[in-house]
Amino acid sequence: MTREPMTEHELEATLADVGDRLAYPRPAAMADAVRARLREPRSRRWWDAFVAPRFGLVPALATLVLLVVAIALSSTSIADRFLRLPGIDIFRAPSVSTTPGPSATPRFPGQRVTLEQARAQAPFLRVPTDARLGTPDEVYLDQTQSGTQRVTLVYLSRAGVPVSPNAGVSAIVVALRGRVDEALFGKVAGGGTRIEDVSVNGGRGFWLDGAPHQFFYRDETGNIVTETLRLAGNTLLWEQDGVTFRLEAQVTREDAIRMAASFR
């Protein structure tokens, strides 16, 4: 046997060597096996009833339970799922479930605040000064899963801007600190959605029209935030000084770009 203790370098090299030579299993068809197991009915636990969307709960109780769970787990994706707008939790994938969420979920995520409160708590916020939109009717403030603040401005009904059948409002604006991750973005939008590169306020933006869809932001901490477009309408997305803005409204591309130019 080796008498002298190995030097650090010798030990590390030997470990790497052993690691290369271990008689590891060589799984071949694990994906098929896992897929088959996922198709099997899963033994249900009592608490699954509370998170299974097809389980019919008394609406008032459901609202209470969901809100309590959502608040308790506000930093998790479960809360995020509950807070999505009903019916448009849509992801462009071949076998996606588009089961609507509980009917009592809030229409927009976060806490209802005044515009002044939103400005005070999210100093990065800019709002459109375009006369067609005017002052927002509702303002919501919430946090993404990693704690980045997000502001949603809601414009209920505006002359010349059709009301979206999906959300019952004319336009929304969402602002959060973060950037659009093009690599991810390009992967998830598509299909029924057209994406065009556009110039917004001298910077780069994207114009999306067509089917509703989800996409991702990468927030200021680098985490990926999933977002569902809420109006199923046309959307202008752009980034300005480290803040991502999104304007959803059934207007033309040129109109949207003009509205974006009015953000102050």
Partner 1 sequence: MEGRPTEDAVLVERSRHGDHDAYAELVTRYQAIAARTAYVITGTAADAEDVAQDAFVKAFYALDRFRAGAPFRPWLLRIVANEAINRRKAAGRRPTVGLSAALDRASGDTALSPEASALAHERRELVLEALRQMKEEDRLVIAYRYFFDLSEIEMADALGVARGTVKSRLSRAIGRLRAVMEGEGRDDA
For partner 1, the binding residues (CB under 8 A) are 1-2, 5-6, 10-12, 14-27, 30-35, 37-39, 42, 76-78, 80-81, 91, 93-97, 145-146, 182-184, 186-188, 214, 216, 218-219, 222-226
* Tokens found for residue 54: 């097809």
By beta-carbon proximity to partner 1, the closer residue of 24 and 46 is 24
Contact assessment for residue 61 and residue 67, using Cβ atoms and an 8 Å cutoff: no
Residue type present at position 69 = V
What do you get for the CA distance between the two ends of the chain, in Å? 76
Angle among Cα 225, 228, 229 to the nearest 5 degrees reads 125
For the bound state, the minimum distance from the C-beta of residue 9 to partner 1, rounded and expressed in Å, comes to: 12
By beta-carbon proximity to partner 1, the closer residue of 3 and 264 is 3
For the bound state, the minimum distance from the C-beta of residue 26 to partner 1, rounded and expressed in Å, comes to: 8
For the bound state, the minimum distance from the C-beta of residue 39 to partner 1, rounded and expressed in Å, comes to: 7
By beta-carbon proximity to partner 1, the closer residue of 165 and 186 is 186
For the bound state, the minimum distance from the C-beta of residue 206 to partner 1, rounded and expressed in Å, comes to: 14
For the bound state, the minimum distance from the C-beta of residue 249 to partner 1, rounded and expressed in Å, comes to: 26
CA 28 to chain centre: 35
Residues 6 or more apart whose Cβ sits within 8 Å of residue 139: 112, 113, 114, 115, 117, 118, 151, 152, 153, 154
By beta-carbon proximity to partner 1, the closer residue of 193 and 262 is 193
Contact assessment for residue 153 and residue 173, using Cβ atoms and an 8 Å cutoff: yes
Distance CA 194, CA 196 (A): 7
By beta-carbon proximity to partner 1, the closer residue of 108 and 215 is 215
